[in-house]
Amino acid sequence: MSLEESAPPSDVPRGARSRTSISAERLAAQLLDDEDRAFLDAMRGAGLLSELDQEELLRVASEVSDGDTDERCVTMLELYFEAAGDVETSARRRLADRFFIQRMDEPVTATALVSRLVSLTPELDGVTLERIGGDDGPLVLRAGDHHAAVLDDEDDPDTGEIDLRAAELRKSGVAMVTVRGLVRALNVLLDRHGVRERLIAIRGDHEREIYAGLGVTQALSLTRAGYLEDDDAEDVLELGAW
């Protein structure tokens, strides 16, 4: 495997540590198939999962459940970032990779989504979700003097058609937002603050939507490899506000 071996701690003989790592790697290789390993290697190649050493790889490989390729890939990411329940390690890993996951059947408010997303972008201070131009005005994310529109899913960029049911809900005061819409607006704010790394949609499954922080080169590389939710480079660039 191409995952790098972590440096041995000073109180463990180097030879013993090497044997342990090799054993962990071999066990993990038996538990993961080629597609699993290719996915993890691609994520590492894009600068993610920096703490996935051999022992951590074995833990993830041991805990991932059966399923199709997309399900297993998302679950491996979730296991890595959950860090076996270690709250401090989990928070460190999530911030380092700007990792965000949302289950599609989990009810959540727009304010809560913004709070979780903003926690991954410390470069932005005081980001708020608000309407401009009155109660019927468009939703925007604001950070200081900058703001970015939160596009609704019912606004079709190709035809301009609008889902009238969603429009009526919006008029009634119900905020209609999607994670992708919030992420796109947040990326615009990151661009205006000179941050080159953006939140990009990694390929999810039918239950989970996931994002991670990537530079434009890494994002396009993962696009070509088929590991992003968008398979068109222009869509990736648009989401990342590059």
* Digit-coded pLDDT (tens) for 74-96: 999 999 999 999 999 999 999 99
* pLDDT tens per residue, range 41-71: 999 999 999 999 999 999 999 999 888 999 9
Tell me the pLDDT band of 186, cut-offs 50, 70 and 90.
Answer: very high
DSSP annotation string for 161-173:
---HHHHHHHHTT
Give the span between the Cα atoms of 105 and 23, in whole angstroms.
39
Contact between 204 and 229 under an 8 Å Cβ cutoff? The reply is: yes
Helix ranges restricted to H, 104-232? 110-118, 164-171, 179-192, 216-225
Give the span between the Cα atoms of 217 and 154, in whole angstroms.
30
Mean pLDDT of the chain: 85
Q: Decide which of 204 and 10 is more confident.
A: 204
| Burial class (CB within 10 angstroms; exposed 0-12, middle 13-18, buried 19+) of 191 | middle
Work out the average pLDDT over 195-212: 97
Q: Where are the domains of the chain?
A: 14-97, 100-240
Phi, psi of 198 (to 5 degrees): -130, 160
What sign has the CA pseudo-torsion 107, 63, 60, 39? negative
Q: Does residue 176 register a pLDDT over 90?
A: no
What pLDDT, on the 0 to 100 scale, is given for residue 204?
Answer: 95
* pLDDT tens per residue, range 213-238: 999 999 999 999 999 999 999 999 99
Q: Does residue 136 register a pLDDT over 50?
A: yes
